Amino acid sequence: MADFILKGKSRTFRGEITPPGDKSISHRAVILGSLARGKTRASGFLVSRDTLATANAFRSMGIGVEVNAGEVEISGNGLFGLEAPREIIDAENSGTTARLLAGLLSAQSFPSTITGDSSLRSRPMSRVTVPLRMMGAVISGEGDTLPLRITGSELRGIDYGTPVASAQVKSALLLAGLYAAGRTSVTEPERTRDHTERMLRYFGVPVEAIGNCVSVGPGVEFSGNELEIPSDISSAAFFIVAALVNPGSEIIARNVGLNPLRTGALDILREMGADISVENRRECCGEPVGDIVARHCPLRAVRIEGESVSRAIDELPVISVAACFAEGETVISGAGELRVKETDRISAMAGELSKLGADIRETRDGMVINGTEELRGARCESRGDHRVAMSLAVAATRAQGETVIGDAGCVSISFPEFFSLFEALGDGK
């Protein structure tokens, strides 16, 4: 899909949706399943460009990975069973693939190279290579970016404090720590999503967590397992916000992961006055799950800062859309991490929403948004970023006139069916 076109008309979002599987958990299912001994089967797997990049990486290292319509079967060879990759590993657009594999490959007995597409090659990698080198990793590259050339080496455990809260950095070091001599501990300024820790425990690997510090020890072999991957709260967020800002709307998002370190978006939206409830709470494979009900209601402006930012970092683009229709001035600060995602999401959302008539300006580490009654249709660009594209689609539902979103096909990175579901649930009936 090159462009996506929304005709200016009244839309009501009603119905049920089971969003695609959680992208973060899908990556980790392939990684840990590949390091387990024996078969791992995971249902609810997100089949997307990002997760398939991880699957292809492990196929190139001798692991059987079969993906079939939302299910994946991994034939793991154990903690020390990876083979030298047959080719350069292409992480494509996936920062998770690149950074987590950098940690894992640093401990292997063979050399490897990780690259990616032009967007990923512009994203900083020193936040993961610096601590890995402190563990003894031999990593070379041109400056701070991909490609990275890794010479497998013997690692030693370290006690590392991350200067920036990053689940990818934490996970890379924990994976390296499975092979390091001694204990590896990672302390964050703020707690980030803990899917790696939860899945390691589910596979039977001891993980210690005290406050913001997480530790693992080396050499623990583990066996394959059965996994059920919950729906991605980041994907659900687009439909939740669409329901909140469009009169008469009510959406139920089924089987959504409710990891407390991922529900920052729900907390922020509730603070804005959102009518959001959770039903059928349960636990699945170590992760809390439930059904989210969202109904249209008026929203009010809030300040978004501190821990709320790290708990909602992927949802901030669509939260900025909600702020466009909230009464008052919403201020997002401390979100500089958004500048080093698939694109500079601060610049992208401020620039593209301005084209639609939003009263929004970017700051060094966030945005200031004044709410309005409605926007106006315009041509916008996704800038190759899936979350920008989907956020703009939500904004366009409250724009008078036609809105065109350029390069909308990038949604396949995380949510290939997004636009078909979006049209089906928001058909204006």
Is 212 among the domain residues? yes
| 285 and 234 Cβ atoms separated by less than 8 Å | no
Is 330 among the domain residues? yes
Is 157 among the domain residues? yes
Q: Which domain holds residue 77?
A: 23-217
Is 192 among the domain residues? yes
Residues 246 and 184 in one domain: no
Is 143 among the domain residues? yes
Residues 294 and 361 in one domain: yes
Decide if 314 is catalytic.
Answer: yes
pLDDT of 1 = 58
In the listed set 187, 217, 247, which residue is the last one of a domain according to the structure?
217
CATH number at residue 351: 3.65.10.10
Number of domains into which the chain is organized: 2
CA distance 146 to 119: 10
Query: Of the candidates 325, 282, 280, which has an alpha carbon nearest to the alpha carbon of residue 300?
Result: 325
CA distance 66 to 7: 40
Residues 9 and 90 in one domain: no
Residues 72 and 169 in one domain: yes
Residues 314 and 248 in one domain: yes
Residue partners of 353: CB distance under 8 A and separation at least 6: 320, 321, 324, 360, 375, 392, 395
Grouped pLDDT means (10 residues each) for the chain, 429 residues = 82 94 97 98 96 98 96 97 97 96 97 95 93 96 89 96 94 98 96 96 97 95 97 97 97 97 97 98 94 98 94 96 98 95 95 98 97 95 96 96 96 92 79
Is 225 among the domain residues? no
Residue partners of 129: CB distance under 8 A and separation at least 6: 102, 137, 139, 141, 148
Residues 276 and 202 in one domain: no
Residues 27 and 16 in one domain: no
> What is the model's pTM?
0.90
pLDDT of 428 = 47
Q: Which of 314, 359, 365, 427 is catalytic?
A: 314
Strands 71-77 and 64-68: antiparallel
Query: Of the candidates 292, 225, 278, which has an alpha carbon nearest to the alpha carbon of residue 16?
Result: 292
Query: Of the candidates 157, 235, 223, 230, which has an alpha carbon nearest to the alpha carbon of residue 411?
Result: 235
pLDDT of 143 = 72
In the listed set 155, 183, 217, which residue is the last one of a domain according to the structure?
217
